[in-house]
């Protein structure tokens, strides 16, 4: 099973790299953490945790992690659009002006097919 992640951004940040695990191993592990599973028409497998953090597996095995939402005092989602790295660390995807930061979309984390 994966090593511990850095944590602090929801359940999806509390475990390390899933690269090399089979889809069944990943499913068993994530469901054991309380994830609900949804399979989209496009073949994406979405694991949503009770804290609303997510882990999505694309049809090619690429893993995308989304942190649990955090809200400011006005109710705005402060970390909308952010992603998590394969160690669970927060990866900013936009600069302070709202412009996309290049090469932050893919982390290299990939489940075996």
- Ordered by start, the domain boundaries in the chain are 11-91
The answer to whether 104 touches 85, Cβ cutoff 8 Å, is: no
**pTM, rounded to two decimals:** 0.89
- Note the pLDDT of residue 89: 93
Per-residue pLDDT tens, the chain, 113 aa: give them.
Answer: 789 999 999 999 999 999 999 999 999 999 999 999 999 999 999 999 999 999 999 999 999 999 999 999 999 998 887 899 999 999 877 788 988 888 777 888 999 97
Could you give the C-alpha distances from 29 to 16, 33, 103, 111, in angstroms and in order?
12, 7, 28, 13
CA-angle at 108, arms to 112 and 82, nearest 5°: 120
**Where in 26-67 does DSSP place strands (E)?**
36-39, 45-48, 54-57, 63-66
CA-angle at 69, arms to 79 and 84, nearest 5°: 65
The answer to whether 47 touches 32, Cβ cutoff 8 Å, is: no
């Amino acid at each position: 099973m994966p090593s511990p992640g850095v944590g602090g951004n929801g359940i999806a940040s509390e475990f390390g790299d899933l690269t090399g695990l089979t889809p069944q191993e990943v499913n068993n592990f994530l469901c054991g953490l309380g994830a609900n599973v949804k399979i989209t028409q496009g073949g994406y497998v979405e694991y949503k945790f009770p804290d609303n953090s997510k882990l999505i597996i694309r049809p090619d095995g690429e893993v995308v992690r989304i942190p649990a939402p955090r809200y400011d005092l006005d109710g705005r989602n402060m970390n909308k659009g952010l992603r998590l790295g394969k160690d669970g660390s927060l990866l900013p995807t936009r600069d302070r002006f709202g412009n996309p930061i290049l090469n932050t979309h893919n982390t290299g984390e990939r489940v075996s097919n």
